[in-house]
Amino acid sequence: MATGTHGLPSLWEIAKYWAGPGKGFCVDLSRPACAGCGCPVPNREGYPEFEDRWTDCGLHRGHLINACAGGPDVVENLVPLCPICNYNMPVFGQGELQAAVDWVLDGGWIQKAKITEQGLVLHGVLLIKFASQ
């Protein structure tokens, strides 16, 4: 198996795993995107090979079972996440794989964002300001 930095499987290996049948994630191999919030990585179409679109594209390899809880560095335990989803992912321990998968499937960081009168707020930071009337 090809490995990337830190001995982890490459984003491409991870994407191919989750794009397989019955995995539940919407992974389009031609279009690198966060498995949580769906945020696409822009300007990757210039690479003819899909693998090159995923290589060093800026997505993180997020652990489902947290590495601190002994989550292994294997494709089954890693998902492509944007930095915001990876940062906001709760720590899931042993036996919580399905809960972790559900967190990703439910939209990642979007679950923690709140809509206020000012706009979209995450951890007290105004991410998107709504236009005032």
How many residues appear in the chain? 133
What is the Cα–Cα distance from 8 to 17, expressed in whole angstroms? 14
Residue 25-54 contact track with Zn ion, rule CB under 5 A, x = bound: ---------x-xx-x---------------
Three-state DSSP class for residue 129:
strand
Which of 32, 71, 80, 108 binds Zn ion (CB under 5 A)? It is: 108
Among residues 40 and 70, whose Cβ is nearest to Zn ion?
40
* Interaction of residue 71 with Zn ion, rule CB under 5 A: no
3-state helix, strand, coil in the chain (%, to 5): 30, 15, 50
* Interaction of residue 62 with Zn ion, rule CB under 5 A: no
Residues engaged in binding Zn ion (CB under 5 A): 34, 36-37, 39, 82, 85, 108
